[in-house]
Amino acid sequence: MNDLSAAWLLHSRPYKERSVIAEFLVEDYGRLAMVVRGVRQAKSRTAPLCCNPLPGSG
């Protein structure tokens, strides 16, 4: 099942060595917190997505 919903990053903070805990506002589900693994690695493809929260959100 691949349901896609619009999501906005509200806040992210470091977790362990290579991960972050990211809080998203998801259109269909409300506010969700997730562990995004491997995002803090030098060669991470998802780093730009999880390191730039919305302006004025924290």
Average pLDDT value over all residues in the chain: 77
Which tens digit of pLDDT belongs to each residue from 5-35? Answer: 888 888 889 998 888 899 999 888 899 999 9
What is the pLDDT at residue 31? 94
| More confident site: 30 or 42 | 30
Full-model pTM: 0.62
**What is the rounded CA–CA span in Å between residue 36 and residue 29?**
18
For residue 57, what are the contacts with CB-CB under 8 A and spacing of at least 6? 10, 11
DSSP 7-56: EEEEEEEEETTTEEEEEEEETTTEEEEEEETTTTSTT-SSHHHHS-PPTT
Q: Hey, what are 52's tokens?
A: 């730039």
